[in-house]
Amino acid sequence: MEENETKQQRVDRELGELLNELRVALPGVQVLFAFLLTVPFQQHFQHITSFLRNVYQATLLASALAVILLISPAAQHRLLFRRHDKEPMLFRFNRYAVAGLVCLGAALTGSVLLVTSYLFGDLHGEVTAAVTAAVFLGLWVARPLQRRRVTEPDPDPE
């Protein structure tokens, strides 16, 4: 908490920080989703295995869900303008952001699996995707949760 900050100022600041953080993630997930939308229209897509079709579908759905979850805070913030609901929105939006980032990580992993399996074979794709998933889970989930266990939450100012 910033020094001499009221509870309302804290909520306003934290909501602004969250919306700014989402601005970082959104372009990447939107580009990934756009890429995935073009894949079926490529010349050789019809020749992929059923395994890769299933990977593609799961990846497309994870990417779409990531877009929905990461844009939801901005959409809800606009629709709930001046409804004096900022603190509940902040906690809800935080859950959306975390879920959206998990979906983004799954979509990134699926994309790596799809492309690498197509280019180099299933085993190479599975190993590369497993490494991608491990890095994603390590940096985006395990490390923050480990830090969360050893740090104290800020006390509520009121």
**C-alpha to C-alpha distances, 55 to 36, 91, 128, 147, nearest whole angstrom:** 11, 32, 14, 33
Domain spans of the chain, in order of start: 7-150
pLDDT along the chain (158 residues), means of 10: 79 87 90 93 90 96 96 86 80 93 96 95 96 96 91 65
What is the rounded CA–CA span in Å between residue 95 and residue 24? 17
State the pLDDT at residue 121: 94
Which tokens belong to 70? Answer: 């990461």
Q: Are 13 and 5 in contact (CB under 8 A)?
A: yes
First CA to last CA distance, the chain = 12
State the pLDDT at residue 82: 76
What is the rounded CA–CA span in Å between residue 19 and residue 61? 23
What is the rounded CA–CA span in Å between residue 68 and residue 133? 21
pTM of the model: 0.85
Angle separating helix axes 50-79 and 86-120, nearest 10 degrees: 160
Which tokens belong to 45? Answer: 């897509």
